[in-house]
Structure 1
Amino acid sequence: MYAANNSLVGTESLWRQINNKVIIVQILVMIFLCINILLIVTFFKNQCFYTTARYILFAVTLLSDSILLFMTNILVILHNFFLMVQVWLCVVICVVVVLCVTVTPVTLTVMTLECYVAICMPLRHGELCSTRSTMHCILIIHGLSSVPCIVILTTLFASASLSFYRQYQICSVEIFMLHMWQQHLRSAIYQVQFLIMCIIVIFCYVKIMKVAKAASGEDKKSTWKGLRTVILHGFQLLLCLIQLWTPFIEAAVLHSNFIIFKDLRYFNYIIFYLAPKCLSPLIYGLRDKVFFHALKHYASFGLYKRNIV
């Protein structure tokens, strides 16, 4: 009887802890989604934004981050309450998640290149970063970002039988990794992608740094602002890289201690999935004066008056 009571108390304590974690995640997700929606509305309300390359790319990251927050939140709820879904539905959810996880860092890299062109090649900026070129660039971004999805789906379709898709399992990308070589292949693709992106960011940083040292007056101020933007993009890319390493760390911990695994997965989600989502609003929502004044106007329901050019 005493043991049964202890077991009941332990179970209630565990469920209370799980519920508290889920509630915290829901609050954070709602906050970030509301901020992102306000920024997206601000973007579409002003023509000067959706005809300018850097703002169009910014909107792509906002949409990608918002979809990622929504879909990963579904996965968090399913995991914490041990809810199982059919594998085919899990495939759909995970494809969207994997795509959005890659879209944001690739877009950040392109935004860094746009900053490099604006500062180091100002006479060609209008030609290289036109609205038409930006739209083509967005197609390329999604094409490159879909490579991990295509690889995961191709290896899954080649390895799994039709009955596998009708099974009920707790949804995660790991259930598609039926063989160890699939995990190694996925890891290799991510590492190559991020190595290329890191090289591009470092290249842009070095080039802008040279221009910053040679500039003077207003040009110097503008160049150093661009340099700080590149540094923030670099920091976001670092968080995205760590974000892609977390599943491999979690898989190693899972085999040794399930309780630590649950806590680690929760910690990783808060730090490496949710926290980086506040950096994009910080970089363009607050640091960019034109966007910030437009944001204040709509956030105050028109009470804050400011001419937006």
Structure 2
Amino acid sequence: MQNLTDFPGNSTTNKSLSVIIKVCVVIPVFCIFLYCIAVMLHIFASHRQYLDSTRYILFASMLINDTLQLLSSVLLFLFVMAQVKFSAAFCVPMLFFSTATFQNTPLILATMSLERYVAIFYPLQRPAAWRSDRIWVIILSLWLISCIFPIVNYSIVARDPAAVDILSTSVLCKSTVFKISPVQALFELGVYILFFAVVAVVILFTYVRILLETRKMRQDKVSVNKAMHTVMLHGFQLLLCILAFTHPITESLLVLHANWLPQDVDFFNYFCFILTPRFLSPLIYGFRDQNLRGSIRKTILCCTDKVNPGERGKLQDNLCAS
């Protein structure tokens, strides 16, 4: 008697069920993330004290960047799950945006570590670029740097004769579609390694310097210890981002030992090494911060809409001390 799984109709049913499960896993987690980020951004917008602190401005920029990255990433995920094909003229801008925001995350982490370094070692002589009213120059520079690689990458694709058919036909919007040569893949890997190596060196340097400063200082050790823990957290966030590059290893292990289907392996890598780190990193940072944690609790519980004058002064003192 023939096995029921051999029938094409049953195979199609299993495939549809797999797609539904994947979508039902990603969408609720994504909605929870959006809600938490919306709460944090609402707090930043409604409390001027946060916007007067360089550290919180950089954190808000990281929240916005990761939100944009996840929006584009989840949208591309849904298109692939639904097998929607469209022209490269619409696909390339989405992939460009997703890649640029992906690369911008480690740059922001490095900048936040440097901000803590400047705040500790130059509290009274802070360079003008690190003041809260000038930090937008650094943020804009990070965006420009993160856009350089996608511009170069897709310029290579546009000039390659082998890419003519891809650019003129409807395709599934996946980055692998536009990786048409080994040189291009090697260039991409080199850029990623350079990005994360530079960021790792910056975080390690700032952490070691702050650690040494902690041992020398007899006063204000609390602020220095907070800064050191913040830099450690940035290192952990960078580690989560680097997990995105372990997908070739996990793919090989799952194919060899677990006998998974290619689309299931892709989803495992996408959820564990692309989505999860960006779900966790801003939430860990936000809920760890004492000032933000109190404001988040009040906003979520709807206990109060505004901070009274006494609490406002206390919040201002805490922000200046941090």
* TM-score above 0.5: yes
Equivalent positions of 1:9-158 (< 5 A) are 9-125=10-126, 127-158=128-159
TM-score by length of 2: 0.86
Structure 2 partner of 1:159: 160
Shift of 1:238: 1.7
Shift of 1:302: 4.5
Structure 2 partner of 1:266: 267
Count of aligned pairs: 306
Paired with 1:235 and 1:265, the residues of 2 have a C-alpha distance of: 24
Contact 2:114 2:206 in 1 (8 A): yes
Q: Deviations over 1:178-211 (max 9, x none)?
A: 1110111111111112111111111001001101
Paired with 2:75 and 2:139, the residues of 1 have a C-alpha distance of: 27
AA partner of residue 282 (structure 1): I
Paired with 1:272 and 1:119, the residues of 2 have a C-alpha distance of: 33
Structure 2 partner of 1:184: 186
Contact 1:212 1:223 in 2 (8 A): yes
Work out whether 1:200 is the aligned partner of 2:205.
no
Q: Deviations over 1:44-102 (max 9, x none)?
A: 11112223211111111111111111111112222223222222211011001001101
Structure 1 partner of 2:319: none
* Residues 100 and 195 (structure 1), Cα distance of their counterparts in 2 relative to 1, 3 Å cut: same
Contact 1:65 1:104 in 2 (8 A): yes
TM-score by length of 1: 0.89
Shift of 1:261: 2.9
Q: Deviations over 1:133-178 (max 9, x none)?
A: 3111011111111122112121112115655323111111121111
Shift of 1:288: 1.9
Paired with 2:189 and 2:295, the residues of 1 have a C-alpha distance of: 41
Q: Deviations over 1:224-274 (max 9, x none)?
A: 22111111111111221221453x558878998994432222222222222
Q: CA RMSD in A?
A: 2.6
Identical residues among aligned pairs (%):
25
Equivalent positions of 1:199-238 (< 5 A) are 199-216=201-218, 219-238=220-239
Work out whether 1:280 is the aligned partner of 2:272.
no
Residue range with higher mean Cα deviation, 110-119 or 163-172? 163-172
Paired with 2:34 and 2:259, the residues of 1 have a C-alpha distance of: 31
Contact 1:33 1:69 in 2 (8 A): no
Shift of 1:5: 6.6
Contact 1:108 1:237 in 2 (8 A): yes
Paired with 1:254 and 1:275, the residues of 2 have a C-alpha distance of: 19
Paired with 2:250 and 2:269, the residues of 1 have a C-alpha distance of: 9
Paired with 1:233 and 1:103, the residues of 2 have a C-alpha distance of: 14
AA partner of residue 166 (structure 1): S
Residue range with higher mean Cα deviation, 131-140 or 107-116? 131-140
Contact 1:109 1:201 in 2 (8 A): yes
Paired with 2:131 and 2:270, the residues of 1 have a C-alpha distance of: 36
User: What's the secondary structure of 1:124's corresponding residue?
Assistant: coil
* Residues 212 and 242 (structure 1), Cα distance of their counterparts in 2 relative to 1, 3 Å cut: same
Paired with 2:303 and 2:160, the residues of 1 have a C-alpha distance of: 56
* Residues 162 and 251 (structure 1), Cα distance of their counterparts in 2 relative to 1, 3 Å cut: farther
Contact 1:120 1:207 in 2 (8 A): no
